[in-house]
Structure 1
Amino acid sequence: MTQKHTPAAALEEFEKRQAMAQGMGAAEKLRRRQEAGRMDARARLDRLFDAGSFSEVGLFAYSGEDPAQTPADGKIAGYGRIGGREAAAVSNDFTVMGASSTIVNGRKIGHMKRVAAQRGLPLVFLGESSGARIPDTMGATGMGASGSDPAQYMRLRETPWAAAILGPCFGSSSWYTCLSDFKVMRRGALLSVSSAQLVRQATGASVEAEELGGWRLHSESTGLVDLVVDTDEEAIDAIRRFLSYLPSHAGEAAPRQAVPAGSGEDMDRILDLLPANRTQVYDMKKVLRAVVDKDSFFELKPGFGKTGITALARIGGHSVGLIASNPLQRGGALQIEACQKIASFIVLCDSFNIPLVNFADVPGFAIGLDAELKAAPARIMNYMSALQMATVPKLTVIVRKLYGQAYLNMGGGRNSDEVAAWPTGEIGFMAPAAAVTVVHGIGPGDAGFEEKIEAFERETSPWAMAGQFSVQEVLRPGDTRDYLIRMLEVHQLRATGGVGQRLLRAWPCYL
């Protein structure tokens, strides 16, 4: 046995290669990141996983001739525990050739996806990458080898995926982010198909990077991003919080948690949140926070489709998906963007066995040319189809008005398992004042207008709906939390262990 093949030499070689791979890119790059307040790929994993639980996969992978040039091939992968539950993650190491994509690190991602799906592990992507590595992927040979997995971008939502946009995200980072169930973005990070520089080269158009793929674009215009934060730490903490509401995999019920002290303590004053004048706006989020378990309200996409509210929360320890109108924005008339946001949220909840709870105060859908240019009828029907296909428990509380097609979209007409109304509820095809004008051709100030409004208002009361059992309960507002806790217990999916039919699991990620 030669000296270089002795056990001692082999161990020395192991330690040398291990140190090299764990050292990531150049020390100078790591120092600059630290000075700029940016976490490196390994520090991000340390933040994501419970202390001491990370087990790395593919540490010794590399591309090219020299492993020292591409330690771990720019993508650090492995397993760890998040809140005590096993999970998988891929963290892009931008200090190694911009975390660019290769055949080798693509295999690492593929491995993590397979294991996560087969073993029931949530999968987290910590994104920051420059796209495909050139010249590795140039030419027919490189392209042919890179397309070897026909299911590379197929989602059946076997387990939850979460992604953080923590720097420039092009190529695989953008694709896997868009496929994820939860997307959080740090201000200053970017997500787009390609960089502003490449756009200029390809089209001649000059565009700023922030305009092309910044946080404001994706949180307010495209709706791709669920949450915007200021730091890497906040982004990773948000992923941990998101996953706490979801099961580890689609084959189990969402987790239960202890009810915090002080939950429901404002219920006896909840009606005070509604103005005496029924045409005056108010903050529906205050109503929701009063009903749910203390500090459990976790809103998604707050800057997109603002007339609608989508949030994860807990009620009596149960994970729930809240859908509500937002009267502070356009009186709560649902924008097309809100329909898109709500449909996507229903898909998330149905795919992972989370009951849906609607709080309705909706005068209808936003109408006009802008809405029609955004395919309003199709968006409204996408929303409606998602609701009707969802097989998780569905509950609806009518807080105030609920008119027209929005009555069905918000869970009325047997589109919920239970529908309850507050005494303040109003249900009809349109607002009474508008109905009087349409039916009788008279308006405010005309003789008989007020009397006819009163007649229509009697017909829109919750008592009329309760009388024909179109709502199952008229609730004292202060009893809403107790009612929902009870109905969540009643409507548990006992026969299937809390697992629905998951008819929406293959719904496109952004439609």
Structure 2
Amino acid sequence: MSMEQKQQLLSQAKAAIENTSAYKNLQLLFDGGVFSEIDAYAKSENGYAEVIAAYGMANGCPIFAFAQNSDIAGGAMSTAQAAKLKKLYSLAVKTGAPVVGLYDSTGARLMQGVDMLSSFGSILNSVSTLSGVVPQISVVLGACLGIGALNASGADFVILSEKARLSLATNGEGGSCEDAENYGLSHLTAKNTEEAIEKARTLLGFMPSNNLSPAPAADTDEPEDPQNTDVIKSVFDNGSFLELQSAFGKNAVVGFARLYGSVAGMVKTNGQTLLQDDCTKIARFVKFCDAFTIPVVTFADSKGFGCLKAASHLTAAYADATTVKVTVITGEAYGAFYVAVAGSGANTDVTLAWANAAISPLPPEAGAAIMWEDKMNAPRDTRQELVKTYKEKECSAFKAAANGYVQDVIAPQDTRNKLFSALDMLSGKRVSRLPKKHGTIL
């Protein structure tokens, strides 16, 4: 075969791959649609491998990405696909770059038998090994079932398109986009493939390349409404907030935002009791921010915890985190909730409070009942007046500041600048911990 014939065959093979949906999806992910393939011509049985692995730039930063190719054997997992992915993960470890996976697979090549278990296992191991080292994002565009769902769910963030199926059940039962939202399996959802990939690019814009690199900075943009009592609109740069898991744990809001161009992880509670899903959502988010040294800004306002086990998870997440932690008490913070997110239990670096905040070891109702036990059998109006008096005298932000439980009492409109000052002061924070493998509070 002449060199010309070989080049013609090469061109035909390349054209065949470039016409697949997986290749086009990767073009949407990388800047300018430009990327370099890894093992582009790797074979699987009688055709090319069922995945395209690549590296390139997204938002001007290097990343690795793969797209399961549903146009080839339904994107089924094979030993060849596993080998390509294993190489991609190995390169990501060596270079310290994020990994984005585009999932769309009917399952596995069953004719390869138990070799498939080893293939899946090697990928699961790689996903776990990279956890906390480089950010990982899974974008589920079609079917992602069985063991493949374990791989996708092992990423830091999971994005689903509306037609996606993410389920341990190989028949896809219970794996709809809505199910994933409600059970906290997904972080973002999209109407279609293009929107899902664009959301992955947006999320990457907040991510450091690895656990030793800083998050990317951006130009400062003034808040949407500086006088608004909604801290998202009045504190953070205009349009910078990206909420995660909005349909899960609805008594809390978590997401990334920018403050004078710098990335911060935001936690906001909405004044209600924090239930299991709320605590789980917050704890996992704080753990991610800590792994990648992203500052955590918490706006605290809650009546307390409604689930002891989940509350211990949240408390441990804050206590273990050595990243910068600044809490602003915007409403109620009593007892265990204050200790968990704003007090010494959370090792909070700076705690601020709005003038209207209420801070106390006990809720006002319980405190008033203990302080004026002999008067609590009085008519309801009298009891309510006693509770009000207790809240004003014993729970005020100024009393908490006088006793050293908050560093400053501020007006809501000053929150943005006060936060920036605190985060800037803490930017060089260094903490040493006792050597151990890991904590055991799960």
Question: Does 1:14 find its partner at 2:10?
Answer: yes
Question: Does 1:218 find its partner at 2:180?
Answer: yes
The within-5 A match list for 1:32-431 is 40-64=21-45, 66-67=46-47, 71=48, 73-136=49-112, 138-139=113-114, 143=117, 151-155=125-129, 156-171=131-146, 173-196=148-171, 209=172, 212-220=174-182, 222-260=183-221, 263-264=222-223, 266-267=225-226, 269-270=227-228, 273=229, 286-327=230-271, 332-366=272-306, 376-413=307-344, 415-431=347-363
User: C-alpha displacement at 1:52, in angstroms?
Assistant: 4.5
**Quick one: structure 1 residues 448 and 296, their matched pair in 2 at CA, closer, same or farther if it must change by over 3 Å?**
closer
Contact 1:323 1:357 in 2 (8 A): yes
Q: For residues 25-52 of structure 1, give each alpha carbon's deviation from its aligned partner in whole angstroms, at most 9, with x where no partner exists.
A: xxxxxxxxxxxxxxx2111111100014
Q: For residues 312-360 of structure 1, give each alpha carbon's deviation from its aligned partner in whole angstroms, at most 9, with x where no partner exists.
A: 0011111000111124xxxx21111010000100111011111000101
Partners of 2:348 and 2:236 in 1: CA distance: 19
Partners of 2:119 and 2:224 in 1: CA distance: 60
Code of the aligned partner of 2:161: R
Partners of 1:394 and 1:504 in 2: CA distance: 22
Q: Secondary structure at the match of 1:416?
A: coil
**Quick one: structure 1 residues 396 and 180, their matched pair in 2 at CA, closer, same or farther if it must change by over 3 Å?**
same
Partners of 2:146 and 2:205 in 1: CA distance: 29
**Quick one: structure 1 residues 447 and 55, their matched pair in 2 at CA, closer, same or farther if it must change by over 3 Å?**
closer
The within-5 A match list for 1:414-493 is 415-437=347-369, 440=373, 441-442=376-377, 445=380, 447=382, 450-451=385-386, 453-493=388-428
**Quick one: structure 1 residues 87 and 461, their matched pair in 2 at CA, closer, same or farther if it must change by over 3 Å?**
same
Moved more, 152-161 or 113-122: 152-161
User: C-alpha displacement at 1:157, in angstroms?
Assistant: 1.9
Q: Which runs of 5+ in 2 are unaligned?
A: none
Q: Secondary structure at the match of 1:324?
A: strand
Q: Secondary structure at the match of 1:346?
A: helix
User: C-alpha displacement at 1:193, in angstroms?
Assistant: 1.5
Partners of 1:215 and 1:505 in 2: CA distance: 36
**Quick one: structure 1 residues 249 and 443, their matched pair in 2 at CA, closer, same or farther if it must change by over 3 Å?**
farther
**Quick one: structure 1 residues 489 and 168, their matched pair in 2 at CA, closer, same or farther if it must change by over 3 Å?**
same
**Quick one: structure 1 residues 453 and 494, their matched pair in 2 at CA, closer, same or farther if it must change by over 3 Å?**
closer
Partners of 1:316 and 1:505 in 2: CA distance: 36
Partners of 2:279 and 2:234 in 1: CA distance: 25
Q: For residues 201-256 of structure 1, give each alpha carbon's deviation from its aligned partner in whole angstroms, at most 9, with x where no partner exists.
A: xxxxxxxx5x5101111111x20100111111111111111111111111111111
Contact 1:310 1:321 in 2 (8 A): yes
Code of the aligned partner of 1:473: D
Q: Secondary structure at the match of 1:18?
A: helix
Q: Secondary structure at the match of 1:224?
A: coil
Partners of 1:381 and 1:486 in 2: CA distance: 31
Q: For residues 388-439 of structure 1, give each alpha carbon's deviation from its aligned partner in whole angstroms, at most 9, with x where no partner exists.
A: 1111110010111111211122222363100010110001133313432355
Partners of 2:156 and 2:241 in 1: CA distance: 18
Contact 1:350 1:502 in 2 (8 A): no
Partners of 2:133 and 2:364 in 1: CA distance: 47
User: C-alpha displacement at 1:53, in angstroms?
Assistant: 2.5
Aligned length: 437
Partners of 1:400 and 1:144 in 2: CA distance: 52
Contact 1:351 1:503 in 2 (8 A): no
* Overall identity of the aligned pairs, in %: 29
TM-score, normalization: structure 2?
Answer: 0.92
Partners of 1:506 and 1:152 in 2: CA distance: 19
User: C-alpha displacement at 1:265, in angstroms?
Assistant: 5.8
What RMSD over aligned residues (CA atoms) do the two structures have, in Å?
2.6
Code of the aligned partner of 1:426: A
Q: Which runs of 5+ in 1 are unaligned?
A: 25-39, 197-208, 274-285, 367-375
**Quick one: structure 1 residues 506 and 167, their matched pair in 2 at CA, closer, same or farther if it must change by over 3 Å?**
farther
